[in-house]
């Protein structure tokens, strides 16, 4: 048991992550700064929209708080997701809740870009087939008008965010609430028609009419490998 | 192991796509696995082309070999998958710790230089090597303070290499920065290093932080004159390849090529006597 070595490393790590003052050496301050800047750089790069709405002081304070419980991922780019979750969990900026949605919007773009996808040939749409949301896409109910860049304005909207295989970019588009609910309820065990049927029944909607309206948008989403 | 020769350069996403427009290729590339294990599809093709057309070695950041902690085996297995996928034989890391109790600092922190620490590191090196099925190469890191020490740094490094069986990545800039910050003679340090263990060498840039009154190993500046001189001195003693490590404030590729040529000139002059 390397007790002494354990104590030395524990103390060192504690001083630099908790950004505690240590008068015995200003070199601790160098490490504190280096660690802080590393986190700050990732947060600035990942959340360009979010950082426009927080002051430098607020940002610094949130990073200090984040450092008290550092992430475990060995991959630096993934720090951003832990930071995003911490901000929400600790209810920081709770008087500007649109910031939580901005954090999500910024993060999801990076997450979808960094994934490795296996693509299969797109099959023709059939109501008898079962579908699920692909790994390359997310659906999100926003409470603020994020997608029209009116970030601070309240407006409930439903959005599909997806990796576009032709441009290698992450794109998004607004969808209606009913299509959002349908995608959310899709599962491997039943056909899309069966899922839609249940949804129509719950919402007192005519199945045939719903099929007619939804067929084209669904074909489009399949083409984009969203479902 | 592959017969790595000549002068290398760290491959960075900042200029990866510019390689298409230039004939420049270094003798070898060095890549950071953590930065390429997940990459936008946009980079995939260019990355594969780069690593398949030149010998490529890997230099990691998050292994934390010096932690008095359980090894993150899941991560080491991910490293192995990456190395296998791109047919990379050299894998180097830092003689430091960066994580503890499953928490990451993403910074290279100095380990206590004790006999016990040498044992801990040696055991961990063997664990890593069992998983990656390759020799681990360890770099002498920069440090701004010594948290605890029973011996001189050079003795600690030599003993770690000896006991663990690891190879050494001799970072000349780190020797230079440490020598200035801690007041020892860089050349003497080079003299005392066990050269038979050196697999390859790094050189890089640093800056002087007035507030801290110390040189900071930033990898974000052109290489300092003093470091070039020390590299020249080292190359006369160490028969190993050398490369430039630039991680921050990355200039246009042309500037890096100019710096690369400067390194190559020194390398050739020494090798050709």
pLDDT of residue A24: 64
pLDDT of residue A121: 85
Same domain, A6 and A64: yes
Same domain, A58 and A129: no
Same domain, A108 and A206: no
Look at residues A114, A131, A163 and tell me which one is the last residue of a structural domain: A114
Cα separation, B242 vs B227, in Å, equals 13
- Please give the residue of chain A at the shortest CA–CA distance from B96: A9
Same domain, A212 and A127: yes
Same domain, A104 and A145: no
Q: Could you tell me if A175 and A160 are in contact, meaning their C-beta atoms sit under 8 angstroms apart?
A: yes
Banded model confidence at residue A122, pLDDT cuts 50, 70, 90: confident
> B interface mutation test: which of A5, A82, A83, A119 has the most B CBs within 10 A?
A5
Same domain, A85 and A185: no
Q: How many residues does chain A have?
A: 227
> B interface mutation test: which of A74, A83, A164, A166 has the most B CBs within 10 A?
A74
pLDDT of residue B132: 98
Q: How far is B44 from chain A (nearest CA, A)?
A: 10
Same domain, A102 and A3: yes
Q: Which of A29, A71, A114 sits opposite B104 (nearest CB)?
A: A71
- Please give the residue of chain B at the shortest CA–CA distance from A17: B105
- Are A2 and B119 an interchain contact pair (Cβ–Cβ within 8 Å)? yes
- Please give the residue of chain A at the shortest CA–CA distance from B35: A75
Lowest mean pLDDT among A82-86, A121-125, B127-131, B267-271: A121-125
- Are B148 and A79 an interchain contact pair (Cβ–Cβ within 8 Å)? no
- Domains of chain B, earliest start first: 7-271 (3.20.20.150)
Same domain, A129 and A65: no
- Are A10 and B61 an interchain contact pair (Cβ–Cβ within 8 Å)? no
Euclidean distance between the first and final Cα of chain A, in Å? 53
Please state, rounded to an integer, the average pLDDT across all residues of chain B: 96
Output the domain CATH number for residue A196.
3.90.930.50
Same domain, A53 and A85: yes
- CB-based contacts of B19-26 (< 8 A; 24+ apart in sequence): B19/B46, B19/B49, B19/B50, B19/B253, B20/B46, B22/B253, B22/B257, B24/B253, B24/B257, B24/B260, B25/B53, B25/B54, B26/B54, B26/B243, B26/B260
- Are B68 and A5 an interchain contact pair (Cβ–Cβ within 8 Å)? yes
Same domain, A108 and A182: no
Please state, rounded to an integer, the average pLDDT across all residues of chain A: 93
Can you tell me the mean pLDDT for B231-250? 96
Banded model confidence at residue B53, pLDDT cuts 50, 70, 90: very high
Same domain, A109 and A139: no
Q: Tens digit of pLDDT for each residue in A49-76?
A: 999 999 999 999 999 999 998 999 999 9
Cα separation, A215 vs B197, in Å, equals 67
Euclidean distance between the first and final Cα of chain B, in Å? 27
Q: What is the DSSP string of A42-83?
A: HHHHH-TTGGGGS-HHHHHHHHHHHHTS----S-GGGHHHHH
Look at residues A66, A95, A114 and tell me which one is the last residue of a structural domain: A114
Q: Which of B42, B67, B144 sits opposite A168 (nearest CB)?
A: B42
Lowest mean pLDDT among A122-126, A199-203, A217-221, B236-240: A122-126
Look at residues A96, A114, A132 and tell me which one is the last residue of a structural domain: A114
pLDDT of residue B42: 86
pLDDT of residue B37: 95
Residues of B with CB under 8 A from a CB of A: 34-35, 37-42, 61-62, 67-68, 72, 75, 97, 99-100, 102-107, 109-112, 114, 116-117, 119-120, 144-145, 147-148, 209, 212, 214, 216
> A interface mutation test: which of B40, B47, B207, B211 has the most A CBs within 10 A?
B40
**pLDDT of B2 higher than 70:** no
Q: Which of A5, A70, A168 sits opposite B112 (nearest CB)?
A: A5
Banded model confidence at residue B43, pLDDT cuts 50, 70, 90: very high
Task: Give the range of the structural domain holding residue A75, as residue numbers without chain letter.
Answer: 1-114
- Are B99 and A74 an interchain contact pair (Cβ–Cβ within 8 Å)? yes
pLDDT of residue B172: 98
Total structural domains within chain A? 2
Same domain, A1 and A77: yes
Cα separation, B193 vs B166, in Å, equals 14
pLDDT of residue B272: 87
Structure-token match 């296996």, residue found = A118
What residues of A are in contact with residue B124 (Cβ under 8 Å)? none
**pLDDT of B168 higher than 80:** yes
Q: How many residues does chain B have?
A: 273
- Are B41 and A168 an interchain contact pair (Cβ–Cβ within 8 Å)? yes
pLDDT of residue A26: 80
Residue predicted with more confidence, B272 or B29: B29
Q: Is the ipTM of this complex over 0.90?
A: yes
pLDDT of residue B142: 97
Cα separation, A56 vs B66, in Å, equals 35
What residues of B are in contact with residue A29 (Cβ under 8 Å)? 212
Cα separation, B92 vs B137, in Å, equals 4
CA distances from B46 to A139, A153, A164, B27, B218 (A): 31, 42, 19, 17, 27
pLDDT of residue B273: 73
CA angle B235, B239, B240 (to 5 degrees): 90
What residues of A are in contact with residue B110 (Cβ under 8 Å)? 12
> B interface mutation test: which of A6, A67, A75 has the most B CBs within 10 A?
A75
């Amino acid at each position: 048991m390397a007790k002494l070595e354990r104590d030395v490393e524990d103390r060192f790590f504690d001083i630099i992550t908790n950004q505690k003052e240590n008068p015995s050496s200003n070199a601790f301050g160098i490490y504190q700064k280096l660690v802080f800047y590393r986190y700050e750089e990732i947060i600035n790069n990942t959340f360009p929209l979010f950082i426009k709405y927080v002051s430098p002081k607020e940002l610094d304070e949130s990073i200090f708080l984040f450092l008290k419980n550092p992430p475990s991922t060995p991959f630096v780019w993934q720090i951003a997701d832990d930071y995003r979750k911490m901000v929400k969990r600790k209810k920081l900026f709770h008087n500007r809740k649109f910031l939580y949605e901005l954090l999500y919007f910024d993060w999801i773009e990076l997450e979808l870009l960094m994934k490795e996808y296996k693509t299969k040939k797109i099959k023709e749409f059939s109501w008898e087939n079962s579908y699920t949301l692909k790994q390359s896409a997310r659906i999100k109910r926003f409470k603020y008008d994020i997608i029209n860049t009116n970030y601070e304005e309240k407006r409930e909207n439903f959005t599909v965010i997806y990796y576009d295989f032709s441009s290698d970019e992450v794109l998004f588009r607004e969808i209606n609430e009913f299509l959002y609910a349908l995608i959310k309820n899709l599962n491997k065990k039943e056909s899309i028609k069966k899922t839609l049927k249940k949804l129509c029944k719950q919402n007192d909607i005519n199945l045939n009419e719903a099929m007619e309206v939804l067929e084209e948008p669904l074909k489009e989403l399949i083409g984009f490998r969203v479902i | 192991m592959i017969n790595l020769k000549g002068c290398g350069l760290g491959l960075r996403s900042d200029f990866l796509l510019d390689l298409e427009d230039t004939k420049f290729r270094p003798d070898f590339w060095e890549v950071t696995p953590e930065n390429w294990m997940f990459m936008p599809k946009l980079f995939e093709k260019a990355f594969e082309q780069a690593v398949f057309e030149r010998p490529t070695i890997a230099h990691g950041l998050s292994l934390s070999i010096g932690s008095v902690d359980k090894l993150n085996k899941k991560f080491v297995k991910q490293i192995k998958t990456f190395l296998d996928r791109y047919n990379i034989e050299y894998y180097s890391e830092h003689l430091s710790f960066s994580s503890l109790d499953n928490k990451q600092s993403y910074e290279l922190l100095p380990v206590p230089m004790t006999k016990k620490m040498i044992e801990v590191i040696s055991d961990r090196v063997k664990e890593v090597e069992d998983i990656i099925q390759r020799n681990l190469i360890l770099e002498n890191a920069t440090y701004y303070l010594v948290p605890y020490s029973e011996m001189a740094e050079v003795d600690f490094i030599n003993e770690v290499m000896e006991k663990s069986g690891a190879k050494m990545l001799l970072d000349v800039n780190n020797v230079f920065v440490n020598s200035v910050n801690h007041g020892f003679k860089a050349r003497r340090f080079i003299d005392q290093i066990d050269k038979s263990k050196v697999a390859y060498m790094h050189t890089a840039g640093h800056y002087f932080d007035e507030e801290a009154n110390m040189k900071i190993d930033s990898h974000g500046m052109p290489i300092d004159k003093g470091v070039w001189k020390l590299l020249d001195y080292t190359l006369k003693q160490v028969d190993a390849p050398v490369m430039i490590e630039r991680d921050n404030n990355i200039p246009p590729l042309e500037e890096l090529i100019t710096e690369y040529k400067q390194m190559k000139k020194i390398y050739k002059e020494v090798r050709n006597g």
